[in-house]
Amino acid sequence: MLAIIFFSFLLLLGQTGTAAGGTITGRVVFRGELPVLPQIQARKDRGVCGETTPFEALTVSTANRGVQQAVVFLEGVAR
């Protein structure tokens, strides 16, 4: 049921549109010292996953400090 509501919401967003829309591109980069995230205990499929699995709430590239799966909100944008 939640999926139906979510996709209905997405359809409504697509219908509203903006008169002077545009595209924003860029990268989200982590600044500061990278935190050490804990391992979490696997509850299912331990034969495949192992006893622990990485906690992936925050995934940062060690090469360029880019944040994976970041969400950005824009405030003060007039429709």
pLDDT tens-digit map of 14-44:
555 566 677 888 899 999 998 888 888 888 8
Size of the chain, expressed as the number of residues it contains = 79
Q: What does 6-41 look like in DSSP terms, one character per residue?
A: HHHHHHHHHHH--TT--------B--SPPP-PPEEE
pLDDT tens-digit map of 64-76:
999 998 888 888 8
- pTM value? 0.51
